[in-house]
Structure 1
Amino acid sequence: MFPNRHRHWLAGLVLAALTAPVAHADIELAPFAGFRMGGEFDIRDSTDDSTSRLDFDDTASLGLVVNVDLAEPGKQLEFYYSRQDTTATTSTTLLAPETSSVDLVIHQLQFGGLYFPGGQTTGGFASGVIGVTRLDPKDSGFDSHHRASLTLGGGYKLPLSRNVLLRLDLRGIYTVLDSGGAVFCSGGCTARFESSGYLQVEAGAGLVLRF
């Protein structure tokens, strides 16, 4: 879990981004591809209180980032969407009879801001966004979940031309879980969330189109 000081920093960054006046200037669209690692948490069998671990496979991710220049130099509003197709695996069959894994799609939709210490909109930056994660099993027999999530990260924007940049990112994505709630399934399912959340790390790269 992120320390409290990072949560306060993130909240301040998001609040500043949302309340800052938007410059008449530019919008940036950045489709990206990445690789996401990590994501594990404990689940509990409500019948005997035994616990096991549920792990997400490390897989590719895809997404889109939209940035809008703010009037204050070196700051941008950011909207972030990503998708990861992965498999959640456990050593037990708590999720369903004779089932120890579930294929699912993880969606993130978040908003916040970027800060460039150099006062420009190129070079190194710090990012902070907050929003919602959707855990969406591909099997219709399992339930989807929507959970609050936040992301802290940093990266670099390298100009390639006047309107095209290369963007590199490294993000830590924390999703909050409802400890005690059912895991993906409802009727007859004994699996419950035991952890308060899980952390994933995403490395990504994409081309930025600036308008």
Structure 2
Amino acid sequence: MLRTLITIAFSALLAAPAFAAQENNFEMTPLIGYRFGGDFDVTNNSKTSNLKLIDEVSYGLLTAWKYDKFRQGEFLISHYQTNFSQHSDFIPSNDELGITYAHLGGNVAISQGLVPMYVTGGLGLTYLSPQDSQLDSETRFSMNIGLMTKLPITDNVNFQLSGRVYGTFFNSDSSIFCDQNNCLISISSDIWVQSEVNAGISIAF
């Protein structure tokens, strides 16, 4: 699945200049950030308790192309590697978990002052990949929404700051990360939420 997401990303990189028309306004932004949130429920002997993910550094790539004077299309990939917090009811042999978001969307300018602001968002997939070989990976539909600013450094280079909230769609009381025998982790709501702050250098072509 991760190879599929990477293939989609490169396809977007190749296709996006066509959307930029003749103004050659295509941007690439490598991102580094920090992701937090994302609790799960653990069920053991009819007893339910909370399992947290450890907050960690995230890495991503945002590609954008001009749609009109105030809007851009975007393709975002953001990934981080985290661990399940220690929990007596859930102790896999390998507690690492990779979570990758791949979203197609856009941004729109809401202010053009000294510090310009944009609303940004997108729809796509969340890929959750536990490293324990006995636990299954999960792919779910998801969305993000956030705020972003771009501070000019040169004519075609900007310093970008953003904050996003990701929502991954589950059915209420869904079970995930099942091992060969049962499912210990569950989602108790329809939307599983994480948040992220990012910084990066945007280069326009």
Q: How far apart, CA to CA, are the structure 1 residues paired with 2:142 and 2:88?
A: 27
Root mean square deviation of aligned Cα: 2.3
Q: How far apart, CA to CA, are the structure 1 residues paired with 2:174 and 2:138?
A: 10
Q: What is the match of residue 203 of structure 2?
A: 209
User: 1:177 Cα shift?
Assistant: 2.6
User: 1:76 Cα shift?
Assistant: 0.3
Q: 1:73 touches 1:119 (CA, 8 Å); kept in 2?
A: no
Give 5+ residue unaligned stretches, structure 2: 1-17
Q: What is the match of residue 101 of structure 2?
A: 108
Q: What is the match of residue 72 of structure 2?
A: 76
Q: What is the match of residue 62 of structure 1?
A: 59
**Identical positions, percent:** 30
Do structure 1's residue 136 and structure 2's residue 129 form an aligned pair? Answer: yes
Do structure 1's residue 36 and structure 2's residue 30 form an aligned pair? Answer: no
Q: How far apart, CA to CA, are the structure 1 residues paired with 2:150 and 2:198?
A: 12
TM-score (norm: length of structure 2): 0.81
TM-score (norm: length of structure 1): 0.79
Do structure 1's residue 87 and structure 2's residue 80 form an aligned pair? Answer: no
Do structure 1's residue 163 and structure 2's residue 156 form an aligned pair? Answer: yes
Q: How far apart, CA to CA, are the structure 1 residues paired with 2:174 and 2:180?
A: 13
Q: How far apart, CA to CA, are the structure 1 residues paired with 2:187 and 2:143?
A: 20
Q: 2:177 touches 2:183 (CA, 8 Å); kept in 1?
A: no
SS of the equivalent of 1:89 reads coil
Higher relative contact order (CA 8 A, sep 6+): 1
Q: How far apart, CA to CA, are the structure 1 residues paired with 2:106 and 2:96?
A: 32
How many residue pairs get aligned? The number is: 184
Q: How far apart, CA to CA, are the structure 2 residues paired with 1:110 and 1:153?
A: 13
Give 5+ residue unaligned stretches, structure 1: 1-20
Q: Closer, same or farther in 2 for the Cα pair 1:158/1:208, shift >3 Å?
A: same
Q: How far apart, CA to CA, are the structure 2 residues paired with 1:156 and 1:205?
A: 10
Q: How far apart, CA to CA, are the structure 2 residues paired with 1:192 and 1:178?
A: 14
